[in-house]
Amino acid sequence: MNDSAPSVAQRQLTLRNRRGLHARAAARFAAKAEQFESEVEVEFNDRRVNGKSIMGLMMLAAACGKTISVTATGDDAAQAIEGIADLVDARFHESE
């Protein structure tokens, strides 16, 4: 049993896809976050939501060029942040 505190990783990510955290991007973000056991939280404009919730992510209404703060807490926190950062940097694999 591991009695140490869970790992925490955080990163500021700038949205570069044309439509920001719209439905498709939010779905891809949540799906990526779901691949990890860590809790993932996303903060934008003093609002914090579960990074595994498509609706929560969409409610942030974060547009292109805006910066979101992503925090992962758990044993795979660093990997979660890296995976999510790669997705955001790849513009959610959108052609636009």
Catalytic residue ranges: 22
- Nearest-angstrom CA–CA distance, 74 and 76: 6
Dihedral sign for Cα atoms in the order 46, 86, 92, 19: positive
Neighbour order of strands in the sheet with 67-73: 8-14, 67-73, 39-44, 47-50
